[in-house]
Chains A and B, each alone.
Chain A
Amino acid sequence: MSGECRVGREVVSFGRLAACAFLFTVSLVRSAPAQESPYIVTYDHYLEEPGNLELEYFSTFGTQRGGNDFHSYWMELEYGATAWWTTEFYLDGQTTFGDSAVFTGFRWENRVRPLAQEHFINPVLYVEYEQINEADKIIKEVEGHDVESDHAVPNAIARQTLNHELEFKLLLSKTFKGWNVAVNPLATKNLLPSDPWEFGYAIGASRPLALKASAYQCNFCRENFIAGVELYGGLGDTQDFGLHETSHYLAPAMAWNLPSGWTVRLSPGFGLNDNSHRLLLRWGLSREITGFGKVVTRMFGAHR
Chain B
Amino acid sequence: MKAMLSRVSICARVLLLSGFLTYIASAHGDSIPASHDHLRHHHFAEFARVPEKARGRRNPLEGDADSIPAGSKLFAQHCAECHGKSAEGGRKAPNLHAGEVQNATPGTLFWILTNGIVRRGMPVWSKLPEPERWQIVTYIKSLQPSTSTEMHVHHDPTTR
Is chain B found bound to chain A in the same assembly? yes
B83 CB to nearest chain A CB (Å):
12
Stretch at the interface among A10-18, A136-144, A163-171: A10-18
The tally of residues in A whose CB lies under 8 Å from a CB in B reads 55
Do residues B73 and A215 form an inter-chain contact, with CB atoms below 8 A? yes
Do residues B124 and A46 form an inter-chain contact, with CB atoms below 8 A? yes
Contacting residues, chain A, for B14 (C-beta < 8 A): 17
The total number of A-B Cβ pairs within 8 Å is 135
Cross-interface CB contact of B70 among A49, A89, A214, A300, cutoff 8 Å: A214
- Assuming A216-B73, A297-B25, is B78 touching A46 (CB within 8 A)? no
B77 touches A (CB below 8 Å): yes
Q: What is the CA–CA distance of A42 and B148 in the complex, to the nearest angstrom?
A: 48
A82 touches B (CB below 8 Å): yes
A60 touches B (CB below 8 Å): no
Do residues A35 and B78 form an inter-chain contact, with CB atoms below 8 A? yes
Q: What is the CA–CA distance of A211 and B31 in the complex, to the nearest angstrom?
A: 34
Cross-interface CB contact of A118 among B32, B66, B91, B126, cutoff 8 Å: B126
* Interface of chain B, main secondary structure: helix
Given contacts A213-B74, A292-B25, 15 further A-B contacts (CB under 8 A): A10-B6, A17-B14, A35-B128, A50-B92, A81-B24, A83-B116, A84-B118, A116-B115, A175-B126, A208-B129, A211-B130, A259-B77, A297-B29, A300-B26, A302-B29
A interface list, Cβ under 8 A from B = 6, 9-10, 13-14, 17, 32-33, 35, 37, 44, 46-47, 49-52, 77, 79-84, 87, 89, 106, 113, 116-118, 175, 177-178, 180, 208, 211-217, 223, 259, 290-294, 296-297, 300, 302, 304
Between A and B, 19 residue pairs with Cβ closer than 8 Å are A13-B7, A32-B81, A47-B123, A49-B81, A50-B28, A51-B28, A83-B117, A116-B116, A116-B118, A177-B130, A211-B132, A213-B135, A214-B73, A215-B66, A215-B69, A215-B70, A293-B28, A300-B22, A304-B29
